[in-house]
Amino acid sequence: MSAETVIPVPAEWAARAKVDTARYAEMYRQSLGAPDAFWLEHGRRIDWIKPFTKVSNWSFDEADFGIKWFEDGVLNVSANCLDRHLESRGDDIAIIWEPDDPKAEPRRISYRELHAEVCRFANVLKAAGAKKGDRITIYLPMIPEAAFAMLACTRIGAIHSVVFGGFSPDSIAGRVQDCDSNIIITADEGLRGGRKVALKANVDVAVESCPSVKKVVVVRHTGGEVAMTAGRDFWYHEAAAGVSADCPPEPMGAEDPLFILYTSGSTGKPKGVLHTTGGYLVWASLTHELLFDYRRGEIYWCAADVGWVTGHSYIVYGPLANGATTLMYEGVPNWPTPSRIWEVVDRHQVNILYTAPTVLRSLMREGDGPVTSTSRKSLRLLGTVGEPINPEAWLWYHRVPGEGRCPIIDTWWQTETGAAMIAPFPGATDLKPGSATKPFFGVALEIVDADGKVLEGATEGNLVVTRSWPGQMRTVWGDHARFFQTYFSTYKGKYFTGDGCRRDADGYFWITGRVDDVINVSGHRMGTAEVESALVAHAKVAEAAVVGFPHDIKGQGIYAYVTLNAGEEPSDDLRSELVKWVRTEIGPIATPDTIQFSPGLPKTRSGKIMRRILRKIAEGDTSNLGDTTTLADPSVVDSLVANRAR
């Protein structure tokens, strides 16, 4: 397998695509050459109550720092996602809901029904005292009510903060306190992989330390028993029965806050990323339509959770603004069997599937059988997001689930960027497995060295963005100084992504991982993603995480945590084989000093490996592992510490 494989745009894609190769080049040039003219045109893709006359107004410099897009425009996000579709496609399905239990009934909600649900939810919130500008925390499972609640907030101009339904009471409390929420929306229980999650009980504990919370709205989902505090808690279905299904959308300024979302916490204390109304919606909807080549009537499934930004932009706002049919799945991809994800594809005839490398690696582990036992004939495009996708997983995704006919759209972006920033256009960009390829319209990228020197041509360094784009975050909630400090102080006048990146001779971008994760062995800098990709390319390895640790001679040594495929046993022979393997795949400089076989890796709830913790374990500094509350399974850490390799 070569990382430099090129998969050309299939002829039928080039012929029917919304954006072909020539059009991409021309539009990209326009978007940077005359950005205000470009965004004047594309800003009109959404409905404005009062059209904007000013397009952009921003500076990344400390003296006049600020970011505004479409600033004098007035709009409402829920009206864009609902009302404007009623006449043309009111009976089209907006949301298909696939329950955790494969034997339970799916739900299909038309745009007309969704409109009524959202209005009712908005009226319930109003009756509970919610006003424009209030912060409302949403702690729900992956049920349609999560989308109703988000859209209801936007309808009345309240700012939502969605907290992933698997977080602990402490994580909820921290996020509620940070933005002073007055209302929490939750459910009795969630269901994931057949297991119940005590959502309401978690909220009860969290609220003890959250004096700002006045009301708790409880959606009945499993019917499980919960405690209700009189005067504070009420059932959603009871309140909804008494309100009207009509709620006029609140006119919002383009720069009024839309939502706060706390980042996944891979690198430290979560930040309250704030997105605003107009620019975000333009960015989410435009990227959704063009990168996924979305066409009316297609079934689109983003298998993320609404608790992280991918769910905001690509389950709810992007697709619904585009009048798409978006599938929401309550459960986990490999339950009750590793075929589940493909069974859901077949059941609902999904055309476009968007998931994460971590999911793909866990499915690859089980072999091709669980995939090939399903049809998947409906699929025509596959997407990925969240981490660098190693070429091995990319090629598997393309060859096995996609049967070689579906383009793989690898989208690089961040909570901070609102929606995709680097990604191939399916009808325009030749694919290279492992590369997110080329920037989206309006995205001006540079690669710089540690001192900020701009590196030209084929090179490797730190990835920065030199111009603002409509979907950019506007501040860290309550801490504007931290916003500037975190993103704009490292390289003057530029947005620093925190990610390392290589650009090849064809101008393709390859994210090498977070800059914090770069290791320096005897003066050679390398991204952890590269070593991990080499390990995962071995037939017996399912997943790998690589970190540096202090080494007397080399400065830093390489410590690799390796998870084996189902049925493989750890052994000293295999350890030597893997060391040899990496030496031949990359070179002697990348030789792992230590390999620790581990059945699991510490991952955030969004499936990302928390290398911060692995670094501490590798260094032998296990007394203070920092904030581990955002981990999916904190017990993994204990087992890693106990089995630390010396």
For residues 460 and 450, give the distance between their C-alpha atoms in angstroms, rounded to a whole number.
11
Determine which helix (DSSP H) or strand (DSSP E) holds 172, and give its type and residue range. Answer: helix 169-179
Among 59, 168, 177, 267, binds ligand ATP (CB under 6 A): 267
Can residue 502 be called a binding residue for ligand ATP (CB under 6 A)?
no
Q: What does DSSP say about strands 107-110 and 93-98: parallel, antiparallel, or unpaired?
A: antiparallel
Which span sits near ligand ATP by CB under 6 A: 208-216, 257-265, 373-381, 558-566? 257-265
Binding to ligand ATP by CB under 6 A, coded x per residue (else -) over 595-624, reads -----------x-x----------------
Nearest to 86, CA basis, from 110, 108, 118, 112: 112
Question: Per residue in 268-285, is it b (16+ CB within 10 Å) or e — as a string?
Answer: eebbbbbbbbbbbbbbbb
Tell me: is residue 13 an annotated ligand-binding position. no
Can residue 488 be called a binding residue for ligand ATP (CB under 6 A)?
no
Is the CB of 365 or the CB of 502 nearer to ligand ATP?
A: 502
Tell me: is residue 33 an annotated ligand-binding position. no
Among 410, 446, 460, 530, binds ligand ATP (CB under 6 A): 410
The answer to whether 65 and 296 are in contact (CB under 8 A) is no
Residue list 347-406, contact with ligand ATP (CB under 6 A): 385-388
Tell me: is residue 525 an annotated ligand-binding position. yes
Tell me: is residue 123 an annotated ligand-binding position. no
3-state SS, residue 439 = strand
Tell me: is residue 493 an annotated ligand-binding position. no
User: Min. distance of Cβ 596 from ligand ATP in angstroms?
Assistant: 23
User: Min. distance of Cβ 25 from ligand ATP in angstroms?
Assistant: 22
560 torsion bin: left (phi>0), alpha (psi -120 to 50), beta (else) = beta
Count of residues touching ligand ATP (by CB under 6 A): 26
Among 31, 326, 411, 528, binds ligand ATP (CB under 6 A): 411
Is the CB of 285 or the CB of 358 nearer to ligand ATP?
A: 358
Print the SS3 string covering 116-138. HHHHHHHHHHHHCCCCCCCEEEE
The answer to whether 390 and 357 are in contact (CB under 8 A) is yes
Is the CB of 82 or the CB of 501 nearer to ligand ATP?
A: 501
Tell me: is residue 69 an annotated ligand-binding position. no
For residues 507 and 505, give the distance between their C-alpha atoms in angstroms, rounded to a whole number.
5
Can residue 533 be called a binding residue for ligand ATP (CB under 6 A)?
no
Among 73, 141, 249, 265, binds ligand ATP (CB under 6 A): 265
Tokens of 105: 């009934």
Residue 256's identity, in one-letter code, is: D
Among 494, 514, 538, 611, binds ligand ATP (CB under 6 A): 514
For residues 250 and 566, give the distance between their C-alpha atoms in angstroms, rounded to a whole number.
53
Nearest-10 crossing angle of helices 111-127, 144-156: 60
Distance, first Cα to last Cα, the chain? 32
Tokens of 141: 């499972």
- Taking every pair of Cα atoms in the chain, the longest distance, rounded to a whole number of angstroms, is 72
Can residue 462 be called a binding residue for ligand ATP (CB under 6 A)?
no
Among 250, 499, 532, 543, binds ligand ATP (CB under 6 A): 499
Tell me: is residue 536 an annotated ligand-binding position. yes
> Measured in whole angstroms, how far is the alpha carbon of residue 455 from the centre of its chain?
29
> Measured in whole angstroms, how far is the alpha carbon of residue 537 from the centre of its chain?
25
498 torsion bin: left (phi>0), alpha (psi -120 to 50), beta (else) = left
For residues 224 and 187, give the distance between their C-alpha atoms in angstroms, rounded to a whole number.
10
Can residue 443 be called a binding residue for ligand ATP (CB under 6 A)?
no
Cis amide leading into 588 (omega within 30): no
Is the CB of 266 or the CB of 462 nearer to ligand ATP?
A: 266
Tell me: is residue 388 an annotated ligand-binding position. yes
User: Min. distance of Cβ 56 from ligand ATP in angstroms?
Assistant: 23
Can residue 511 be called a binding residue for ligand ATP (CB under 6 A)?
yes
Residue list 280-319, contact with ligand ATP (CB under 6 A): 308-309
**Binding residue positions for ATP:** 386-388, 410-415, 499, 514, 525
Q: Which residue ranges are tagged as binding site for Mg(2+)?
A: 536, 538, 541
- List, as residue ranges, the binding site: 192-195, 310, 334, 386-388, 410-415, 499, 514, 522, 525, 536, 538, 541, 583
Q: Which residues bind ligand ATP (CB under 6 A)?
A: 263-267, 270, 308-309, 385-388, 410-415, 436, 497-499, 511, 514, 606, 608
* Residues in binding site for CoA: 192-195, 310, 334, 522, 583
